[in-house]
Structure 1
Amino acid sequence: MAYKQIVAAAILDSLSAPSKLLAARRTSPPMLAGLWEFPGGKLEPGENCEAGVRRELAEELGVQVVLGSEVFGPVPEGWVLNESAAMRVWFAEISDGTPDTLEDHDQLAWVDLDEAALATLDWIPADLPIVHAVLADTLAGATR
């Protein structure tokens, strides 16, 4: 099955010594409004995944990032979101700018990288397996 490719970032306070993750609360569509996610979006025609992540973060949050390793999902397209879309996710660290809610989000939160803190947010259900993988990878030191 061919999935529509979505890209996103698990933005950390530091790729080398991560302690916090930036989560973003969606404003739309209505069924996802108020839920938390990894910032990102759809690829543009002809765009590669890494360029798409950088563009999406600049548009949505107003930041430039350095990408770290990929948070690998169970399919080549990354993590299955629904019957038609899958998302590849990279660790990232902000290299320029201060994150702001420019598009698609009404709130941002730096959350401690531990199970209890991450569980306080109402994540989009499809993102929950990615949250657990991000936590496991950061504990294993696999962010760079």
Structure 2
Amino acid sequence: MASASTSNAQGLEAGRRKSKRESYFRSKREGKHYRCEECSRQFSGLGSLKIHMRSHTGEKPYRCEECSRQFTQLGNLKTHIRTHTGEKPYKCEECSRQFSELGHLKRHMRTHTGEKPYECDYCSRQFSDLSNMKKHMRSHRKALQM
């Protein structure tokens, strides 16, 4: 009798987990958008919503065989694997420097073009790199707090 009771309790618990997971993936189709019921963020496709839901569930289905690090998206795993292989498929046409990620090449290209797309909200100083602008803006915030 105790095993039937335990089995029932396990079944109920599994049902609750399944129900909660299903509610994560339930979305309201609003125009061309799917809305996350956890944080209200909207997505144009159901697949994008499902990937986003992993940020709430903690699910990381893609694992690096080299170091066991886990990822929510296959593309992130493929990019990570380059840290082990040393592959750098993106090459600067100006100076031949190579990069493992396209975003790193794009950021590097600003050293050649002089482009500075990020501007400080406080003093209008421009930056080629977002992280440098954010660091700069913190100096203004500290000054304003004094």
Judging by fraction of residues, say which structure has more strand: 1
Q: TM-score, normalised by structure 1?
A: 0.23
Structure of greater relative contact order (alpha carbons < 8 Å, 6+ residues apart): 1
* Larger fraction in helix: 2
